[in-house]
């Protein structure tokens, strides 16, 4: 800022309190709730929103908003340069628009989707270490003057630190429960989540099935094409499994070429149908094509269902594993039946 700050002592003290609340919070859900509560009180406006930039798609999405139903905006994505928010994110410069009808960058997409009418806007980039993390939009504020703009910029600076901290924390948390090679959940997450899910099934009187699966003759693939290509094949198989599932179902990289599929709400019959679907998709897929190598794989499965076959974590895992072992001993490319 040049010259004397337009912010009052009260403004600065409020921002200091906001910074303490934001930078000390690592859980993203609680963080955004804190931003929602603090900033809406600090910055009166008809509407304000925080949009975050998705690193994978390089598009902005609505993360939180005051007085706007996020459910209506959940599918809206703004590319860099699209709309005022996209321009601010791209240029990394704030924008003050007194009349959006006279702004060449204004997009009516959000207004059309929400039924809201935008007249004026202050939009400020959320930047950390030179990287755009998102933008803050203040829509139809009563004041477009220097004080309001500097206040939003200061809030954006604190928000950037908080969002970066929360994202790093989330990344560390993800590493702790995901397998490095496949990106699937690891056994640590399996044991933690299954304990909770079994208790939930007991309370709801519902089913939960485990599918243990193993790639048949996979050692021959490794011996022929090497460990690196073997790892690539496992990565691609993991992608096939992931594409076959919808939440709350999930897959786990169990050990080497073994996987576990967790199917909440699936009984013996529906679990077997899902296992057959995964088996068929793997069998019909050719792997490692990008390396000039073509590998076709077959799998064996063992299935156990709560509460039919076991009512605790240890028992359920043991039975599914035993069924898989039984199949592997007798034949390959098959599904074990687990029936009492």
Closest CA relative to residue 139, chosen from 83, 217, 59: 83
Please state, in angstroms and rounded to a whole number, the distance separating the CA atoms of residues 319 and 311: 11
How far apart CA 322 and CA 303 sit, in angstroms, is: 9
The pLDDT of residue 158: 82
Say what the pLDDT of residue 3 is.
55
> What domains are defined for the chain?
9-174 (3.30.450.40), 187-330 (3.30.70.270)
- pLDDT tens by residue, the chain, 340 residues: 455 567 677 767 767 777 766 666 667 677 777 776 777 777 778 888 899 999 889 999 998 887 777 788 888 999 999 999 999 999 999 999 999 999 999 999 888 888 889 999 999 999 999 999 999 998 998 888 888 888 888 888 888 888 888 888 888 888 899 999 999 999 999 999 999 999 999 999 999 999 999 999 899 999 999 999 999 999 999 999 999 999 999 999 998 899 999 999 999 999 999 999 999 999 999 998 777 889 999 999 999 999 999 999 999 999 999 999 888 776 655 555 443 3
40 prior amide bond cis, ω within 30: no
Residues in the chain: 340
How would you label 39-52 residue by residue, b for 16+ Cβ within 10 Å and e otherwise? bbebbebbbbbbbb
Q: What is the pLDDT of residue 252?
A: 97
Q: What is the dihedral of CA 110, 114, 117, 120, to 10 degrees?
A: -40
Q: Which residues contact residue 24 at a Cβ distance below 8 angstroms, ignoring those fewer than 6 apart?
A: none
Residue in the structure block whose two tokens are 């628009």: 97
- The span from the CA of 146 to the CA of 149, in Å, is 5
């Amino acid at each position: 800022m040049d010259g004397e700050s337009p912010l009052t002592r009260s403004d600065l003290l409020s921002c200091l309190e906001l910074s303490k609340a934001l930078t000390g919070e690592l859980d993203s859900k609680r963080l955004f709730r804190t931003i929602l509560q603090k900033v809406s009180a600090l910055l009166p406006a008809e509407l304000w929103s925080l949009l975050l930039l998705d690193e994978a798609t390089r598009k902005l999405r609505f993360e939180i908003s005051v007085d706007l139903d996020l459910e209506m905006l959940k599918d809206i994505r703004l590319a860099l340069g699209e709309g005022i928010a996209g321009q601010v994110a791209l240029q990394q410069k704030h924008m003050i628009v007194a009349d959006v009808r006279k702004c060449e960058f204004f997009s009516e997409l959000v207004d059309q989707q929400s039924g809201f009418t935008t007249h004026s806007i202050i939009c400020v980039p959320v930047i950390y270490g030179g990287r755009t993390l998102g933008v803050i939009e203040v829509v139809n504020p009563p004041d477009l003057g220097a004080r309001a703009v500097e206040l939003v910029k200061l809030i954006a600076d604190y928000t950037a630190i908080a969002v970066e901290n929360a994202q790093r924390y989330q990344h560390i948390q993800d590493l702790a429960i995901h397998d490095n090679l496949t990106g699937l959940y690891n056994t640590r997450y399996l044991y933690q989540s299954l304990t909770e899910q079994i208790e939930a099934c007991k309370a709801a009187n519902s089913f939960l099935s485990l599918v243990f699966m193993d790639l048949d003759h996979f050692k021959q693939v490794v011996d022929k094409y090497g460990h690196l290509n073997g790892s690539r094949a496992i990565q691609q198989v993991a992608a096939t499994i992931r594409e076959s599932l919808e939440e709350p179902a999930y897959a786990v990289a169990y050990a080497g070429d073994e996987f576990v599929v967790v199917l909440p709400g699936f009984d013996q019959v529906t679990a077997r149908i899902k296992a057959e679907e995964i088996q068929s998709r793997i069998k019909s897929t050719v792997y490692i094509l990008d390396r000039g190598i073509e590998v076709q794989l077959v799998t064996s499965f063992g299935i156990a269902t709560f509460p039919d076959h076991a009512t605790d974590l240890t028992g359920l895992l043991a039975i599914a594993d035993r069924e898989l072992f039984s199949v592997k001993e007798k034949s390959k490319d098959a599904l074990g039946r687990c029936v009492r």
